[in-house]
Structure 1
């Protein structure tokens, strides 16, 4: 369901990135088909903090400047309204020259109807668009 809370037990989360503006451009372009958009921007002396939202408008995914080098890979999945949106995320990634870790496909090991694409973001994180619908007809 589009616009729902990220997870029932999580209100919001943030990641620290090397370049907020670069990461912001990546997330807005790659996940536009999932309804991701900039909801709020808080200026800082050198960069800014940006809250991204889905269609409901509540900022739930935050980008802020990193205080140091990243030391581990993070995985974030964005909910897609349908398989076409997952395919659109893949097309945006290919068009932008982003690294595609796994092209769109069904992942039955997670559950029937789990359809996702996996990408690498500018900071090396594994990011995904996923639709939890039924299998394609």
Structure 2
């Protein structure tokens, strides 16, 4: 339902490295790069943007946000989590089922280099073989 959204990043180089790595395991790539802003997505459509908050183009001070990225399955959620933690991200919640959200909700949560709560989620847990 989200068309696109963006966040400001304090450490531009570290944030680019983080998102290039963790989004790649979910199948997302850089779609546009303006030097001070990068848009990630699939097939030419950037849905998620990061911007260097140390330039005049930044839209204000950074605040923690929560972002959930769709994953193709349980293995993709695990790969996202492993990639993020491998880059030194703080683990907020290791991959697991979250039935309190809805049946089949499987997600993992990490904190990105700027302190944002970032999640990979798969909505079909338990339906893979049935």
TM range (shorter): 0.7 to 0.9
| Distance across 1 between alignment mates of 2:61 and 2:3 | 26
Question: Shift in Å at residue 74 of structure 1?
Answer: 0.2
Match of 2:21 in 1: 29
TM-score, scaled to structure 1: 0.81
Change (3 A) 1:89 1:69: same
CA distance in 2, matches of 1:112, 1:86: 16
* Cα root mean square deviation, aligned: 1.7
Cα distance between partner residues in 1 of 2:115 and 2:85: 16
Contact residue 27 and residue 36 of structure 1 kept, 8 A? no
Alignment match of 1:86 (pick from 59, 62, 77) = 77
Say if 2:52 is the partner of 1:65: yes
Instruction: Tell me which residue corresponds to 2:12.
Output: 20
Residues 39-95 of structure 1 deviation map (CA, whole Å, 9 limit, x = unaligned): 11113xxxx111111x3331111111224542x310001100111000111221232
Give the structure 1 partner of residue 67 of structure 2: 76
Alpha-carbon distance change, 109 to 92 in structure 1, aligned in 2, over 3 angstroms: same
TM superposition outliers: structure 1 runs of 4+ over 6 Å = none
Structure 1: segments with no counterpart, 5+ residues = 1-6
Shift of 1:37: 1.2
Give the TM-score taking structure 2 as reference length. 0.85
